[in-house]
Amino acid sequence: MKTKLRPANDGIGSVHTVRLPLWPYLITPLCAFAALPLTWGAHILYGTDADTAGWTGVLLTICAGVLIAFVAWSSRPRGVVMQVMATGVTVLSAAWVIPAVLSGPISKGMLGVWFVGGLLMSIIVAVYRIMRQARGDADGDRSAIRGEMGELGAAVKQLKDAAIGRPQVAGAKVSAQVVLPPGQTFAEVQGARSQIASALDVGGTAVRTHPDPDSERRGRLDVVPVDQLRDPVPWPGPSAPGGSIALPVVLGKSEDGEPLQLHLVGDHAVQRNAIGILGVVGMSGSGKTELLLTFCAEVLTRHDEELRIIDARKGDQLPSWLHRHAAQVTTGRNAAEDVIEALRDEIPRRAKQLGERGIKQWQEGCGIPHVTVLIFEAAAVVAGNGDLVDLSEAVRSVGMTIVLELQRATHDRLPTSARSNIPAWICLGVKDEADAEAALTDEQADAGAAPWKWKALKPGYCYASGPGIEPERAAMPARGFAASEEEREHAVDSYRGHTTQPAATTPVPPAPASDEPNDERAELDALTRDDPPDDVDPAEPIKIDRNRPRFDFAPAQQMSPADARDELRRAILLAAERGMTTVKPEQMSPVLAATGMSGSWLYKALREMSDGPDALLAPARDRGHYRILVPQRA
């Protein structure tokens, strides 16, 4: 055996292996010669005795039938020609062996059939092998891929009925190293994925390419001929109930059988950063909500985790167990924006707490819980929201993770500055290629990831990328677990305890009867009416319950855009008269109340006022702040 590099007609080269062609052609003749003495011995032992000859014939017939059926079934993936040839050879062999054992092979008729049959089968097998070896040079232009990938194609066909298993060479994946001639790049092979898939008769997403990082003309071609994720993957339950959130969160199963897991927390020992912000992208029906509910069940069963939920549109549709066990559930757009603004103010406090403990980034046992903020329908909240940009740059080291659920990862749904700071993505089926432009890494796209081919037809199918996920595994599709709400509810309730209603309040006992006159009691009440309760320190700041009820008031009458800009301009000039040199959007909330405009309008208006020759503002050093340019008086 020897190996040489051979370029094809279209410039795509490959590693071509030349095999010595002798021994494959000798297998059939040798088997035919061996059959003669073996059948003669079997005839002497079993065929000459009348008591055993009948049972021998029945047993041989049954064995022949089973063997023929097995050969016909096992040769099915190798194509019609191979199936017919293998089945025919088996039938002819059985038709000669049975009478040879019963009546003996040493007769003129049996020897004639043996000689002609053995010669015929040897010629058929030899011709087939010669034609298969020459197929790459005889098929014309189509041989550029099919001829060079003939051995890979044969291996692919053999895997049609393979089951998913652990990562092994003999698993459900066929790999081939590809080497191109000097001057050609592996990108040409990447561009020919569709043609390779067609030549191998497999799906378009079954062919993946992995360039060699040390060579522009070398790489590996992987083919997975059968969709290993076509059957739903049942949820086995929480991966680490009672463990730390520093352990990976398991959301599903990858194509090779390994778990799909995310590392929310960084680990300095292995040089892995924390995720900080995770984007989950997928069209309606792609399985986003199911994946995120499994995510919630995972994090709620960790002992050092605090989950907060934000849903600006359909908070009432969230399952009851999520309302019970989440630390905070916020619904409504205005309330959601308030929570996001509060997150930015929480970051310095958490950073200070970690700094006092001498910790650079959050880790297990640091004394404060990890916080995960899951924002359903995030586009309704974060579009045009400058707070998200600030959060994306700061949450990573303070033990906070923000999860954004989006239908599209495009610039109109998510600020560009925020998208560039999102290190982790889960991309499910999307409507078209543009919807996944930010959710796929360059390595995933080059390897052949195409979630727009799934659309909503394969719920739960996804690609995942981020810290802790190797680029090669990021290009491998996975599927989220399938679970019912009862299963998730039981798992979370089993760990956190089940409560069907809010905690009951302790009733206040009635005051005992008093002998004091009523006028004295009235005087005492008047003197102590404004005193705080005995168990409250007036020097301590008031703690507001996060789950306090929020009151929605009727929206203010909305001004026209021109009048609203005038109102904003007057507010900025008034701030300058009061000695302020910078402003930030949060300080302009009275303008929103007076004009009825939205927060996204405010951010846009402030940016417009900082542009042009008559700009009233200029971007300050602190992100999200604007320096006031006081007009010069004549």
Distance of alpha carbon 288 from alpha carbon 252, whole angstroms: 13
Phi first, then psi, for residue 565 (nearest 5°) are -65, -40
CB 366 within 8 A of CB 250: no
Asked, for residue 241, whether it belongs to a domain, the answer is no
Output DSSP code: residue 505.
P
Q: Which of 141, 160, 183 is the last residue of a domain?
A: 141
The whole-number pLDDT of residue 341 equals 82
**Same domain as 423, residue 312:** yes
Phi first, then psi, for residue 310 (nearest 5°) are -125, 125
The whole-number pLDDT of residue 496 equals 84
The whole-number pLDDT of residue 283 equals 92
**Same domain as 168, residue 310:** no
Tokens, residue 109: 């008729």
Residue 554 β-bridge partners: none
Asked, for residue 634, whether it belongs to a domain, the answer is no
Distance of alpha carbon 105 from alpha carbon 96, whole angstroms: 9
Distance of alpha carbon 302 from alpha carbon 370, whole angstroms: 10
The whole-number pLDDT of residue 73 equals 84
Q: Please count the structural domains in the chain.
A: 4
Distance of alpha carbon 380 from alpha carbon 529, whole angstroms: 46
Q: How many helices (H) and strands (E) does the chain have?
A: 21, 19
Tokens, residue 371: 């916080």
The whole-number pLDDT of residue 134 equals 54
The three state secondary structure string of 183-252 is CCCCHHHHHCHHHHHHHHCCCHHHEEEEECCCCCCEEEEEECCCCCCCCCEECCCCCCCCCCCCCCEEEE
Q: What is the crossing angle of helices 80-103 and 23-42, to 10°?
A: 30
Residue 237 β-bridge partners: none
The whole-number pLDDT of residue 35 equals 84
Contacts of 260 (CB under 8 A, 6+ apart): 250, 251, 252, 253, 254, 462, 464, 478, 479, 480
Q: Which of 496, 530, 551 is the last residue of a domain?
A: 496
**Same domain as 213, residue 67:** no
Among candidate residues 283, 295, 288, 282, the one with its CA nearest the CA of residue 322: 295
pTM score over 0.95? no
**Same domain as 168, residue 49:** no
Q: 114 in helix, strand or coil?
A: helix
Distance of alpha carbon 310 from alpha carbon 343, whole angstroms: 12
The whole-number pLDDT of residue 175 equals 77
Q: Which of 107, 141, 175 is the last residue of a domain?
A: 141
CB 440 within 8 A of CB 412: no
**Same domain as 324, residue 251:** yes
**Same domain as 218, residue 102:** no
Distance of alpha carbon 166 from alpha carbon 290, whole angstroms: 26
DSSP states along 315-327: GGGS-HHHHHHSS
588 is in an annotated binding site: no
CB 340 within 8 A of CB 359: no
DSSP states along 538-558: TTSPPPPPTT----PPPPPPP
Length of the chain: 634
The whole-number pLDDT of residue 27 equals 79
Asked, for residue 483, whether it belongs to a domain, the answer is yes
pLDDT tens, residue by residue, 363-405: 998 989 999 999 998 887 776 566 676 777 788 889 999 999 9
287 is in an annotated binding site: yes
Asked, for residue 272, whether it belongs to a domain, the answer is yes
Residue where the block lists tokens 């405009």: 597
Give the residue numbers spanning the domain of 364. 247-496
Output DSSP code: residue 180.
P
> What's CA 481's distance to the chain center, in Å?
11
**Same domain as 420, residue 467:** yes
pLDDT tens, residue by residue, 64-105: 899 899 988 887 766 778 888 888 888 888 888 888 888 888
CB 311 within 8 A of CB 331: yes
**Same domain as 374, residue 416:** yes
79 is in an annotated binding site: no
150 is in an annotated binding site: no
pLDDT tens, residue by residue, 7-35: 444 444 444 444 445 666 777 788 888 88
Residue where the block lists tokens 């052609």: 25
CB 255 within 8 A of CB 478: yes
First to last CA, the chain: 93
The whole-number pLDDT of residue 190 equals 77
Tokens, residue 284: 């309606």
Asked, for residue 95, whether it belongs to a domain, the answer is yes
283 is in an annotated binding site: yes
Asked, for residue 97, whether it belongs to a domain, the answer is yes
**Same domain as 166, residue 88:** no
82 is in an annotated binding site: no
Low-confidence ranges of the chain (pLDDT < 70): 1-24, 77-78, 132-172, 314-316, 383-387, 389, 411-412, 415-418, 498-557, 621-624, 630-634
Asked, for residue 313, whether it belongs to a domain, the answer is yes
288 is in an annotated binding site: yes
Q: Please report which helix (H) or strand (E) contains residue 461, including its range.
A: strand 461-465
**Same domain as 466, residue 338:** yes
CB 202 within 8 A of CB 156: yes
CATH number at residue 461: 3.40.50.300
Asked, for residue 513, whether it belongs to a domain, the answer is no
Q: Where are the beta strands (DSSP E) in 79-157?
A: none
Distance of alpha carbon 37 from alpha carbon 136, whole angstroms: 40
**Same domain as 157, residue 116:** no
Distance of alpha carbon 425 from alpha carbon 277, whole angstroms: 9
**Same domain as 317, residue 180:** no
The whole-number pLDDT of residue 298 equals 95
